[in-house]
Amino acid sequence: MERSKRRRNYTQRHTEGVDQQTLLMDAAVKVVAAEGLENASTRAIASAVSPAMSDAVIYRYFGGKDELLLKAFLRSMGRLYDEVRRRSGVLMEFSLPFEYRLRFFWHSLWTWITAHGDEGCLMVRFLVSSGFNARAVEENRAIWRPLADKIQGFYPDIDTSALMSFFVETLLVSSYPVCSGLKEDCASASEFGFRRVLGALKELVPSIGSDKAKEREKLASKVFAEEMKSVAEENGKENNKENISITRTAVGTQPAR
């Protein structure tokens, strides 16, 4: 009986700890988005959770502000990674021109990041801060490495890690004025970032749209078959419905010039 009670108490304390960490990371995201990284003090973050909360809780669960901000940043990057995976099905619709596929992939991610503006602000502000040190760089790369390695499988002559970093950073920086409330969301802002990405891809992969690209796409479909199956299982039918909807829209849309 006493052993069962101790187990329940341990489980309760563990759950409370996890919840506290989540609340503190959520608060850090909001404070950084509203006040900036420099003004995101431990006192401000703790107060954002509860006026009665002591900032000593941050030191208890994270060891300090720097570790809390790093964990919040990596969590947001992990969420963005999951969205990239979830929305990448449209890139496999090889019956459509590459620019169509990339456009709808980009705009779907733009919609997600601008709808999560606080996280977008945190990611950008952390990327340009002194906190983005060697450890942060490596842990961020570890998040994106599985996808970069898969792409490397059919583009062995390209630094896919650098290309992916460029894509993600362009998405974040282009959407930052919208995420931070400095600018209204508009098609031209999203289009500017898309054009940068498309231009870089055409420069790095001149074969895009050619017969050689079609051969690589056949290889890509094999490489990503397991990935797409995994994503479909994670998201169920909703993901398939979204990709079908995007594809149908793309068929009737001409790319901007």
- In this predicted structure, what is the pLDDT of residue 20? 93
Q: Is residue 5 part of a domain?
A: yes
- In this predicted structure, what is the pLDDT of residue 209? 58
Spell 138-168 as b/e; 16+ CB within 10 A means b. Answer: eebeebbeebbeebbebbeeeebbebbbbbb
Spell 41-75 as b/e; 16+ CB within 10 A means b. Answer: ebebbbbbbeeebebebbeebbeebeebbbbbbbb
Domain stops at, among 63, 78, 111: 63
What is the per-residue pLDDT across 125-176, written as a single tens digit (0 to 9) for each?
A: 999 999 999 999 999 999 999 999 888 877 777 888 888 999 999 999 999 9
In this structure, are residues 150 and 227 in contact, taking their beta carbons and an 8 Å threshold? yes
Is residue 44 domain-shared with residue 113, that is, in the same domain? no
Rounded to whole angstroms, the Cα distance separating 120 from 104 reads 20
Is residue 33 domain-shared with residue 79, that is, in the same domain? no
pTM for the predicted model, two decimal places:
0.81
Q: Which domain holds residue 113?
A: 69-251
Average pLDDT over residues 96-102: 87
pLDDT of 240 strictly over 70: no
